[in-house]
């Protein structure tokens, strides 16, 4: 094993990450070789001891991943190759699949085999005796080639419930052949925690009675759970409490169907709640960053409401909650968010009191007091705008701009003189295609700029025209991206006259921020959100204020198109 694995300070529970293999089986998730390499190094930096890289030979991408990883080796983690047992009726030493595993050059290999006699007879269409041979001979061959083996007992819990004697025979075959870990898999994800606990305890008792292979360390149990019954994390923890010392899972719970055990919840629960060390404490503080890094790389929006690492995991909205948390965070927080790299957030809405406003101002580096006239003005303005349909709890960037506007601290980067959006419906080979042209006129430092740009739709065209007009003055805008666009009809009974709320999420590659616009004209609402997204991004760049003497349009004001 690596230096981590042989250290006297080894963890109480070994974390085995399978994001790159099992997690990549999630519907809609596709990782390039470069993505996989970057994720592997990020997991290595987090302190994960085992990283499953994929199945060499199953596809060209995984083969190339293992080759490239030799050129860019990990610092402390063991990269693991994954494969099945040999095929029925074949010999392990001539199976091409196992030759590809050896060519990957990893110290550790994870082999999965069938535990459930139903799968043996109906899935593999072979005999139970042949399946035992497939397990034992595959592991023995890999051991003879100098590999260390983790055995994943697929469908273990269903197999044990159906035929416990045969299920234990499969483990015995793996053990006798030299497997160092026996990982019990809830492959279908339907087992409940009390069943997990009972069966793991039974296997632990059985394991103690098994003879040790000469020269082999005491074998250990692991757990691999799926989330089809929304129990994957609870099941993993239940197994650890019964003696399992390895947990297999994925970052953010990615995986096939409903996903795998979410390591972003498993790790802090084990380490911070149960005192079972998993990662070095200083590495644990990178958990939130790692979660968001991988979600961005996988092109999946981070789950803001995910436990521990979500943006809203330590967010407080109700005025009573905020007031209490300001006095003592323990009143409404189950742990210190900084321990896993997250932070407390105060959310503002029409349910807010002055406590929310003051706390939020502090998070922006602005010190307000209850006695300040501006505090009451800001609270009243907030409630008025939320009544009109604005939603600042989901658009903190717009709220900071509003706060700075009330305080007279809102910078004036540019002034919009007017804009037009024109849409054409053009014939194409298969169907009509709409193209939009936007023209904007802005003023910066008393200089008037007129620009136009096309887009697939009116918002895209408007966004491009604004960027085109501004980028020569503010080059940082070239790095801004519109990463999400949400539209909600606020009063549907009004039909096409209904008021629309638009939320736009922007990013500069390092930060994300959300702005809001509201209008009965969807283009106007979108314009408000787009403009504020650009303004806020520039605010984060610490640009000096321009000399433009035109006050930016107030939030909620109407503009002519």
- Yes or no: say if 461 and 437 are a contact pair by the CB < 8 Å rule: yes
Measure Cα distances from 366 to 29, 227, 244, 316 in Å.
41, 43, 49, 19
Helix (H, G, I), strand (E, B) or coil at 434: strand
Measure the CA–CA gap between 360 and 317, rounded to whole angstroms: 11
Predicted pLDDT of residue 71? 92
Residue 72 contacts residue 103 (beta carbons within 8 Å):
no
Tokens, residue 498: 């209904």
Supply the pLDDT for residue 431: 62
Spatial separation of the C-alpha atoms in residues 306 and 304, rounded to whole Å: 6
Q: Say if CB 314 and CB 268 are below 8 A apart.
A: no
CA distance 23 to 142: 25
User: Which tokens go with 352?
Assistant: 């807010």
Cα distances (Å, whole numbers) of residue 533 to 1, 175, 466? 49, 59, 11
Angle at alpha carbon of residue 311, lines to 310 and 313, rounded to 5°: 60
Query: DSSP letter string over 171-188?
Result: HHHHHHHT-SEEEEEETT
The pLDDT assigned to 7 comes to: 41
- Residue 553: its pLDDT value, please? 32
- The C-alpha torsion from 453 through 454 and 458 to 464, rounded to 10°, is -50
Q: Which domains does the chain have, with CATH numbers?
A: 13-274 (3.20.20.70), 315-388 (no CATH), 415-540 (3.30.160.270)
Beta bridge partners of 482: 506
Q: What is the pLDDT of residue 2?
A: 40
Helix then strand count (H, E) for the chain reads: 19, 16
Cα maximum dimension of the chain: 86
Residue 210 has what DSSP assignment?
S
Structure token pair of residue 294: 């991988």
Q: How far apart are CA 290 and CA 298, in angstroms?
A: 12
What does each C-alpha distance from 192 to 164, 188, 263, 306 come to in angstroms? 17, 11, 18, 21
Structure tokens belonging to residue 279: 């990662």
H helices of 269-318, where? 281-284, 287-297
517 and 526 in contact (C-beta within 8 Å)? Answer: yes
pLDDT of residue 555: 34
Report the SS3 class of residue 140. Answer: helix
pLDDT of 351: 56
Over its length of 561 residues, how does the chain's per-residue pLDDT go in tens digits? 443 343 446 899 999 999 999 999 999 899 989 899 989 999 999 999 999 999 998 888 899 999 999 999 999 999 999 999 999 989 999 999 999 999 999 999 999 999 999 999 999 999 999 999 999 999 999 999 999 999 999 999 999 999 999 999 999 999 999 999 999 999 999 999 999 999 999 999 999 999 887 888 889 999 999 999 999 999 999 999 999 999 999 999 999 999 999 999 999 999 999 999 999 999 999 999 899 889 877 878 789 899 999 988 998 877 778 788 878 888 988 999 999 999 887 776 655 667 667 777 777 777 888 788 888 888 888 778 877 877 676 678 888 898 888 888 888 899 888 888 888 776 665 666 677 899 999 999 889 999 999 988 888 899 999 999 999 999 999 999 888 888 877 766 666 667 888 888 888 887 888 898 998 888 889 989 999 999 999 988 764 433 333 233 333 333 322
CA distance 402 to 381: 9
407 contact partners, CB below 8 Å, separation of at least 6: 366, 374, 378
* pLDDT recorded at residue 494: 62
């Amino acid at each position: 094993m690596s230096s981590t694995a042989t250290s006297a300070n080894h963890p109480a529970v070994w974390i085995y990450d399978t994001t790159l293999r099992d997690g990549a089986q999630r519907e809609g998730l596709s990782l390039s070789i470069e993505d996989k390499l970057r994720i592997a190094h990020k997991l290595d930096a987090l302190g994960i001891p085992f990283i499953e890289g994929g199945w060499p030979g199953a596809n060209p991408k995984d083969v190339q991943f293992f080759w490239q990883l030799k050129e860019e080796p990990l610092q402390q983690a063991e990269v693991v190759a994954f494969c099945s047992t040999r095929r029925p009726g074949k010999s392990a030493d001539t199976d091409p699949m196992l030759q590809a595993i050896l060519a990957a050059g990893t110290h550790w290999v994870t082999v999965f085999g069938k535990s459930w006699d139903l799968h043996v007879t109906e899935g593999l269409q072979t005999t139970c005796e042949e399946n035992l041979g497939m397990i034992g001979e595959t592991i023995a061959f890999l051991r003879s080639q100098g590999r260390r083996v983790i055995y994943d007992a697929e469908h273990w819990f269903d197999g044990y419930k159906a035929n416990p004697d045969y299920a234990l025979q499969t483990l015995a075959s793996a053990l006798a052949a030299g497997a160092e870990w026996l990982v019990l898999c809830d492959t279908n994800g339907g087992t409940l925690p009390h069943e997990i606990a009972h069966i793991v305890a039974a296997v632990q008792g059985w394991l103690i009675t098994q003879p040790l292979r000469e020269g082999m360390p005491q074998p250990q149990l692991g757990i691999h759970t799926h989330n089809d019954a929304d129990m994957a994390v609870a099941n993993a923890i239940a197994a650890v409490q019964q003696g399992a010392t390895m947990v297999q899972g994925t970052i953010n719970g990615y995986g096939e169907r409903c996903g795998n055990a979410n390591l972003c919840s498993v790790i802090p629960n084990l380490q911070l709640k149960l005192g079972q060390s998993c990662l070095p404490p200083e590495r644990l503080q990178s958990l939130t960053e790692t979660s968001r890094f991988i979600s961005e790389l996988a092109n999946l929006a981070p789950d803001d409401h995910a436990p521990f690492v979500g943006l809203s995991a330590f967010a407080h909205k109700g005025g009573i909650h905020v007031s209490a948390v300001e006095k003592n965070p323990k009143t409404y927080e189950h742990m210190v968010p900084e321990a896993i790299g997250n932070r407390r957030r105060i959310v503002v809405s029409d349910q807010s009191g002055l406590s929310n406003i003051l706390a939020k101002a502090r998070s922006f580096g602005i010190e307000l007091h209850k006695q300040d006239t501006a505090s009451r003005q800001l609270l009243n303005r907030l409630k008025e705008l939320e009544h009109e349909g604005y939603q600042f709890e989901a658009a903190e960037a717009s709220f900071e701009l509003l706060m700075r506007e009330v305080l007279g601290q809102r910078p004036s980067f540019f002034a919009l003189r007017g804009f037009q959006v024109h849409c054409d419906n053009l014939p194409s080979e298969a169907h009509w295609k709409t193209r939009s042209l936007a023209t904007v006129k802005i003023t910066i430092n008393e200089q008037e700029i007129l620009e136009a740009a096309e887009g697939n739709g009116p918002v895209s065209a408007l966004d491009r025209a604004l960027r085109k007009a501004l980028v020569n003055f503010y080059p940082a805008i070239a790095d801004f991206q519109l990463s999400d666009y949400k539209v909600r009809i606020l009063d549907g009974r009004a039909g096409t006259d209904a008021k629309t709320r638009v939320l736009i999420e922007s990013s500069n590659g390092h930060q994300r921020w959300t702005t809001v616009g509201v209008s009965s004209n969807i283009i106007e609402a979108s314009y408000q959100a787009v403009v504020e997204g650009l303004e806020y991004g520039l605010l984060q760049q610490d640009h000096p204020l321009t000399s433009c003497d035109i006050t930016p349009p107030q939030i909620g004001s109407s503009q002519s198109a």
